[in-house]
Structure 1
Amino acid sequence: MQPDDPILVTGATGMVGGQLAQQLRGDGFQRVLTPTRQQMDLCDAASVDRWFAQHRPKYAFLLAAQVGGIAANVADPVGFLENNLLSAVHQLQACHRHGVEKLLLLGSTCIYPRECPQPMREDSLLTGPLEPTNEGYALAKIAALRLAQAYHTQHGMQCVLPMPCNIYGTGDHFDLQRSHVLSALVKRFVDAVEQGSDEITLWGTGSARREFIHVDDVVAGMRLLFDRVDDGQIVNLGTGEDLSIAELATRVAAAAGFTGTIHWDTSRPDGMPRKCTDVTRLKSFGFEPRVDLDEGIRRTVQQYRRLNETGSTSNK
């Protein structure tokens, strides 16, 4: 990419898109395009086509998505399937129709089967049933990546398809109805400390295992893959290390200064039993994460406390 190339970043108000757009501008790219929903409604094919026809991006990072944790997915399966599917179809159509030279479509490791052999390899896709609590989101992501691969096969479109594990970090939100597990835990434990609570109840058994990657490492991985990959094959984007939710809760509690008792509501779902990626292909391109989990948790706790001090958490 050249400094004056028009580069589209959708989802720039989100955690990953915001960090990517900021980095690209900081690195001297002068035409980083970050349309708002009012400027380009991704669920409206005509709106997307009009925007592409007017701005003609040369490269595209398609990061926009309706995202959330178990509670959000269970509450709105229609939205997670329909909105993510429409958004992907319209963006990929427009990229093809208006001559985008290369695109990156961000996926998720929720595409893999619930009982997937661990660590999860890229070739495990579509080898078994999905996790029911996020099936709508997973189906939309699978259809999107398969459509991108079809454009690559049929029309030669250059596609980069990273599948990140659980992302957290700067720019994440802390709304318990929409948040992912790590930011939700940060909010719960920090709030408990500030309110003087000596006990807290969390969802599930705590036995489910998850893998986490800081948003800074996600952006670094995406940019590396964008420079080195164009074959339309999916690439896991993670650390290759996981831990139980109970252990994660213990680490977050320590970072927040919570010394009380943790209870587990076992009537609530755990979700997929384990999600840990095989990062062999990723490492073959020279990628290594830089932000370890304890440092990332510390930063996230600090971020949430700053937002509380400024009264900004109502929108986060």
Structure 2
Amino acid sequence: MGFDSNNTKLHSPESIRFYNQILGASDKVIHTLTHGHKPQWLKNTPPGPMFFQNNASARLNMDIVRNQVKAWEELGAVKQVATRPKIVSPLTLSTKTDTQSGKLKHRVCLDLSRSVNLYVKESNVVMEDLSAVLPRIQPGYYMASADIKNMYLNVKLAEQEQTYFGFSITDTNDIKIFPVWASRSNVNLAIADAGSKPIPTDEWQLAEEDFQRITQALSVIPTVDAFATKTNTKCEKYFSRIPEATAWATDFFIQTLQPKEVYYLVPPIKEVTRTWFALTNVPNITAVLVVPAWYSASFYPLFREKTCFNKFIEKHFEFKAAFQDSDHTIFNSEAKFNMLALLIRT
């Protein structure tokens, strides 16, 4: 079977006219609505044939999986095919407890991590949370939330690309799994545990040579590192996230900023918007703010609209960064995007 989504209203002539004439959508959006989504393959070449067995979570719950696939088929999102698709990826079953009803909720997903995802071009996507929204909310604003069921099935695939998104619901293996408890001192479990630790996004850091390049380009010497630890601070004085004996203070966001200091800020991505407002809401402050040069991120319009930088930005410096201790942080030393250093005076 494979994904189709040919009956979705998103691709109807009325929808295309709306996006084109009312919303003024880009040529790329109109092309996708007209012809379907086409993955951007590495080297512009799709991968060769592959076949994967469904993941254990799906194989052990095939009744749930088949019911979902039947619903997809009735929706027109998938179709049966006479020949095996070029890529057959595994299905997986995600299960969680509904916080309101206490009942188990199941979600069948197509796992592309070992197939298609390895052959498409990477693109930076920032998943924003409330920290990016709250600073912009004013009294009298309204908020709403929406949970769109089958949202991803609303965008159809281009006809020639559907063969790379196949899956199978045949149950050819009678596999029983008998869990056996093993000590956490087992070397293989220790390796697995280490690999399951979350990436410490709060502690990504630039290499010392990049810090020196920033200070030279912006002609300023920071005196306080606002997001640091004793092992990575670039200044004698620093604010730490958790209490440290050598820190000047803890938590940048609760500090009273001083005009006599020059603050160096390399905040977690989720805190960029909050950091900007914490700086610009205080007069007579000098700071160097370093962020990824992600032009599509929600925080980027705070700094620049078209060709004009914000009035608080005196200088800017875009550069290719080398990330310190990159094996243990969110960014690796071969990041393909640039960084942006902003000299801010409020």
The answer to whether the superposition gives a TM-score over 0.5 is no
TM class by smaller structure:
under 0.3
TM-score, with structure 1 as normaliser? 0.25
Larger RCO, structures 1/2 (Cα 8 Å, 6+ apart)? 1
More strand by share: 2
TM-score, with structure 2 as normaliser? 0.24
More helix by share: 1
